[in-house]
């Protein structure tokens, strides 16, 4: 019982209240005392208590009535009923109304210790439950999918809706937009939440290995198959299978997967016995599958099978209003992880982060914040903390005038040639002296 509690004693006898007070003081608990049920409720309005010892026999409001009120208004407060006149009926009634225990005055010293141990255990379980519940809520509230932009609000609204059905989902989005997080959130909100969630990156596994990974194999199915092995289709049974980069799988594998999705059975490699499987498929891609279908590189029937519901996650550059929110989220995360007190991003740095295009999307932003926090020497990240971010040439603001365009182009060539003027003039096919003049005219400087 190392956790200190706030305990309230409710008894009309002062001597009992004092006795409890001295007893609990020895454990370091904070003790409140009330001479009546009304006084107890008044105190509870101001000071929340972890535990109450309530005498049954009190004038005006008896202990049972107080217990009922406390359990109604402060359900998290535990109540132990104490009485000098024990009867089984009142004990049963008290326990039915939610009392944690029932003690007959006077108690044996070890009896009180046991009750306190039991209460502490109950409190511990409760706090563990609350923690887990909180974690679960965090997970199902799309942890790490941060955003307040209308596009993200749409995604948040869609997730619980699509989670209810068992239809295949195709998540489309650029790399680093959080496709797997969305898939996990859908899984967590679905009736399959208690089942497994298995994610496979189809682009990272060779086709032959992917087949064995998904379907499993019998002993001796191929060279090196020393033992039979269940495939992911079997392992994921009851849960959700997430196939990332589905645009990368071969035509043969598309046919095999199509059959599994239609028949809901698989056959392990080297086996003939069909096995029933039950999973929900969520696929993801950063490619334009419709275009691949038109080009004939992706099977149309398979495309429609995996694309019953399509979710499109916008790239970060299309929802820049989410950047400050994401920055603070990752700042908080990495400050805690690295135990460095970095809690601010100055205005200039925030502008830089908002102006940047984030081709790697949220993942790139997260990596940038992590890197900046790790290397930071102060509490605030400035624009110099993000000097490693280089705006992509494609995204540089388009020049409006010919003069501006000329300046930008010369600057780019000079940068590419590390400001070797001779080399740059050769690329530009102009005289060195002319290039020097242009550098002067446009007031160009080498970036530090």
Angle made by CA atoms 371, 376, 379, in degrees to the nearest 5: 125
- Rounded CA-CA distance 270/267 in Å is 8
- Only one residue has tokens 């289709």, namely 233
Size of the site for another protein (CB under 8 A): 24
Q: Which stretch binds another protein (CB under 8 A): 12-20, 41-49, 326-334, 379-387?
A: 12-20
Q: Which residues pair with 269 in a beta bridge?
A: 217
- Rounded CA-CA distance 163/178 in Å is 17
Q: How far is the CB of 375 from another protein (least distance, A)?
A: 40
Q: Does the protein bind another protein through residue 390 (CB under 8 A)? A: no
Nearer to another protein, 115 or 323 (CB): 115
Q: How far is the CB of 333 from another protein (least distance, A)?
A: 34
- 89-108 residues near another protein, rule: CB under 8 A: 105-108
- 141-160 residues near another protein, rule: CB under 8 A: none
Q: Does the protein bind another protein through residue 20 (CB under 8 A)? A: yes
Q: Does the protein bind another protein through residue 85 (CB under 8 A)? A: no
* Torsion sign over Cα 192, 196, 232, 364: positive
- 329-388 residues near another protein, rule: CB under 8 A: none
Nearer to another protein, 112 or 284 (CB): 112
Q: Which of 60, 89, 110, 429 binds another protein (CB under 8 A)?
A: 110
Supply the DSSP symbol for 246. Answer: G
Q: Which stretch binds another protein (CB under 8 A): 8-16, 169-177, 222-230, 378-386?
A: 8-16
Q: Which stretch binds another protein (CB under 8 A): 25-33, 363-371, 396-404, 418-426?
A: 25-33
Q: Does the protein bind another protein through residue 27 (CB under 8 A)? A: yes
Contact between 267 and 302 under an 8 Å Cβ cutoff? The reply is no
Supply the DSSP symbol for 315. Answer: P
Angle made by CA atoms 284, 208, 232, in degrees to the nearest 5: 55
Contact between 28 and 22 under an 8 Å Cβ cutoff? The reply is no
Nearer to another protein, 111 or 127 (CB): 111
- Rounded CA-CA distance 443/314 in Å is 39
- 28-57 residues near another protein, rule: CB under 8 A: 28
Q: Which of 18, 301, 321, 404 binds another protein (CB under 8 A)?
A: 18
- Only one residue has tokens 């932003």, namely 365
- Rounded CA-CA distance 43/24 in Å is 18
> What are the structure tokens assigned to 242, written together?
């997430």
Interface residues toward another protein, by CB under 8 A: 1-2, 13, 15-16, 18-20, 22-23, 25-28, 82, 105-113
């Amino acid at each position: 019982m190392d956790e200190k509690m706030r305990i309230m004693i409710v008894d009309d006898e002062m001597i009992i209240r004092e006795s409890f007070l001295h007893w609990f003081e020895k454990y370091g608990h904070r003790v409140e005392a009330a001479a009546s049920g009304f006084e107890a409720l008044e105190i509870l309005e101001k000071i929340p208590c972890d535990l109450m010892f309530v005498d049954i026999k009190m004038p005006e409001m008896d202990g049972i009535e107080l217990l009922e009120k406390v359990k109604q208004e402060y359900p998290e407060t535990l109540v132990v009923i104490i009485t000098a006149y024990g009867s089984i009926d009142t004990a049963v009634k008290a326990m039915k109304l939610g009392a944690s225990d029932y003690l007959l005055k006077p108690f044996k010293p070890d009896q009180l210790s046991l009750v306190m141990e039991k209460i502490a255990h109950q409190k511990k379980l409760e706090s563990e439950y609350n923690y887990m519940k909180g974690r679960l809520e965090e997970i199902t509230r799309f942890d790490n999918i941060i955003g307040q932009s209308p596009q993200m609000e749409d995604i948040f609204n869609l997730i619980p809706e699509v989670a209810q059905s068992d239809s295949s989902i195709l998540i489309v989005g650029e790399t680093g937009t959080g496709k797997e997080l969305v898939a996990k959130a859908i899984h967590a909100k679905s009736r399959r939440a208690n089942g497994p969630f298995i994610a496979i990156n189809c682009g990272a596994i060779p086709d032959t290995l992917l087949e064995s990974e998904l379907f499993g194999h019998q002993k001796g199915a191929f060279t090196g198959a020393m033992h039979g092995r269940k495939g992911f289709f079997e392992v994921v049974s009851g849960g959700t299978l997430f196939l990332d980069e589905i645009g990368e799988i071969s035509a043969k594998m598309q046919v095999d997967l199509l059959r599994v999705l239609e028949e809901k059975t698989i056959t392990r490699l080297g086996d003939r016995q069909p096995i029933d499987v039950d999973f929900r498929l969520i696929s993801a891609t950063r490619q334009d599958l419709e275009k691949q279908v038109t080009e004939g590189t992706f099977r149309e029937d398979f495309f429609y099978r995996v694309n019953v519901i399509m979710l499109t996650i916008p790239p970060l550059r299309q929802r820049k209003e989410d950047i400050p929110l994401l920055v603070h989220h990752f700042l908080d995360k990495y400050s805690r992880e690295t135990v460095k007190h970095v809690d601010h991003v100055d205005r200039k740095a925030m502008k830089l982060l908002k102006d940047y295009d984030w081709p790697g999307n949220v993942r790139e932003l997260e990596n940038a914040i992590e890197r900046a926090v790790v290397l930071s020497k102060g509490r605030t990240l400035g624009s110099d903390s993000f000097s490693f971010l280089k705006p992509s040439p494609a995204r540089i603001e388009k020049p409006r005038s010919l003069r501006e365009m000329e300046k930008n182009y010369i600057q780019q060539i000079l940068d590419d040639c590390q400001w070797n003027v001779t080399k740059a003039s050769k690329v530009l096919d102009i005289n060195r002296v002319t290039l020097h003049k242009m550098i002067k005219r446009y007031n160009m400087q080498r970036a530090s």
